[in-house]
Amino acid sequence: MKDYSIVIPLFNEAESLPELHDWIVKVMNESNTTYEIWFINDGSTDDSWKVIEELKLKDDNIKAVKFQRNYGKSAGLYVGFEHAEGEIVVTMDADLQDSPEELPELRRMILEEGYDLVSGWKKKRFDPITKTLPTKLYNWATRKMSGIKLNDFNCGLKAYKYDVIKSIEVYGEMHRYIPVLAKWAGFTKIGEKVVHHQSRKYGTTKFGLSRFINGPLDLLSITFVSKFGKRPMHIFGVIGSSLFAFGFIIGGYLTIDWILQFIFKIGENYYPITDRPIFYFSLVLMVIGTQVFLAGFVGELISRNSSIRNNYKISKVLD
């Protein structure tokens, strides 16, 4: 088993790859460690794959996967985790904003301090305020909802024990919440290290404004699944049963009131049940309660047991 598996998902990063590779090799040689580098080419339209093939000719430690089209960062990490076989698995971005110099310390924290996962914290960022301010809000919300005390959940530079990456499933856009997935899988010793953040040297960012919409939605999704994925009836059953019971109680009250008026002639005015608006409100509550109880439960089971959730078409593999 190698000391490191370095998983690098990338999209149109041809210019930075040679420099990144040389930097990683330099750090690995200085620390006298064995390694493998998994480049996951996420449907790049530039010369990224050609560059990877050229680097592979010079370094047998390079391995790579090429997607037929762009699937997103989570897909790249999922496939990289599937292939990684190192004792310590490190993820980093390909844009040279993550420093390989951090790798030995991340590895030491896992091996000597017993962390399951160590996440980088880009305390000083070289990004515009339009990116840093929403990121701070996102991190605050994630801390509150997950209970994990990290300052930078979305930092691409992270290190994991081998068992962690083999126990989690990254899909959709859940790469932002890998610490949450790890905690859900039972790996609760999660640490953080301040890492150096470098300004982008080549190209442009690959993440647009959509992340500010998708991020909170993904957070709600992973929070719900982590708490109720194994016991969905604990949420759907409570909500559905409560709505149904409330509607049933209202219906029962109307029925008793009708009996008292129509049969026992108690009261001055007689109103048919169907002439009272609250009757239809009780029906709506019972119908919605039943739908939440059944449809929500069935829908969650279908979603979590989908056989094609991580079905990615791979055209080439260098191994």
The pLDDT, as a whole number, for residue 257 is: 82
104 and 128 belong to one structural domain: yes
Both 19 and 107 in one domain: the answer is: yes
Residues 141 and 191 in one domain: yes
- pLDDT value of residue 46: 93
Alpha-carbon dihedral 311, 312, 318, 319, rounded to 10 degrees: -20
Q: Is residue 80 classed as helix, strand or coil in its secondary structure?
A: helix
Residues 277 and 239: their CA atoms lie apart, in Å, by 23
65 and 186 housed in the same domain: yes
Residue 132 lies in a domain: yes
Domain contains 315: no
* Full strand arrangement of the beta sheet holding 4-10: 190-194, 117-121, 158-161, 88-91, 4-10, 35-41, 62-67, 314-318
Same domain, 216 and 261: no
**Could you tell me the two tokens for 235?**
């949420």
Tell me the three state secondary structure of residue 113: helix
pLDDT at 176: 85
Q: Classify residue 319: in a domain, yes or no.
A: no
pLDDT tens column, 8-65:
999 999 999 999 999 999 999 999 999 999 999 999 999 999 999 999 999 999 999 9
| Distances from the Cα of 249 to the Cα of 148, 244, 318, angstroms | 41, 9, 65
Task: Output DSSP code: residue 294.
Answer: I
Q: Is residue 317 part of a domain?
A: no
Query: Which residue, of 211, 228, 245, is where some domain finishes?
Result: 228
Of 238, 236, 225, 234, the closest CA to residue 298 belongs to: 236
Alpha-carbon span 247 to 283, nearest angstrom: 6
Rounded mean pLDDT, 114-131: 81
Q: 143: pLDDT confidence band, cut at 50, 70 and 90?
A: confident
**DSSP string covering 247-274:** HHHHHHHHHHHHHHHHTS--SS----GG
CATH number at residue 94: 3.90.550.10
pLDDT at 207 over 60: no
% of the chain with per-residue pLDDT over 90 = 50
Mean per-residue pLDDT over the chain, rounded: 85
pLDDT per position as a tens digit, 237-259: 788 889 999 999 999 988 888 88
Is 309 inside any structural domain?
no
Co-location of 268 and 289 in the same domain:
yes
Which residues fall within 8 angstroms of residue 33, CB to CB, at 6 or more apart? 3, 4, 104, 107
Of 170, 200, 228, the domain-final residue: 228
**How many domains does the chain contain in total?**
2
Domain that holds residue 27: 4-228
Measured distance CA(150)–CA(191) in Å, rounded: 8
Neighbours of 53 (CB within 10 A): 15
Q: What is the pLDDT of residue 85?
A: 94
Is there a single domain that holds both residue 105 and residue 210?
A: yes
Give the 3-state secondary structure of residue 220. Answer: helix
Lowest mean pLDDT among 46-55, 195-204, 221-230: 221-230
223 lies in the same domain as 238:
no
The answer to whether residues 238 and 205 belong to one domain is no
Q: What is the DSSP letter of 296?
A: I
At 268 the pLDDT is 62
Burial class from Cβ neighbours inside 10 Å (0-12, 13-18, 19+) for residue 18 reads middle
Residue 190: what pLDDT?
Answer: 96
In a domain? residue 250: yes
Structure confidence at residue 208 (pLDDT): 54
Which has the closest alpha carbon to 52: 91, 21, 25? 21
Is the domain of 127 the same as that of 148? yes
CB 165 within 8 A of CB 189: no
Helices and strands of the chain, counted as H and E runs: 11, 8
Tell me, yes or no, whether 178 and 241 share the same domain: no
Distance CA 319, CA 303 (A): 33
Buried b (16+ CB within 10 A) or exposed e, 156-174: bbbbbbbebbebbebbbbb
- The span from the CA of 220 to the CA of 215, in Å, is 9
pLDDT beyond 60 at 206: no
Q: Is 81 helix (H, G, I), strand (E, B) or coil?
A: helix
Show which of 207, 228, 249 is a domain's final residue: 228
Residue 53 · residue 14 · CB < 8 Å? no
Of 77, 93, 235, nearest to 170 by C-alpha is: 77
70 assigned to some structural domain: yes
Report the candidate in 318, 278, 317, 262 with the shortest Cα–Cα distance to residue 56: 318
With a CB cutoff of 8 Å and minimum separation 6, the contacts of 306 are none
Please provide residue 168's backbone torsions phi and psi, each rounded to the nearest 5 degrees. -115, 155
Q: Give a yes or no: residue 313 inside a domain.
A: no
On whether both 164 and 257 belong to a single domain, the answer is: no
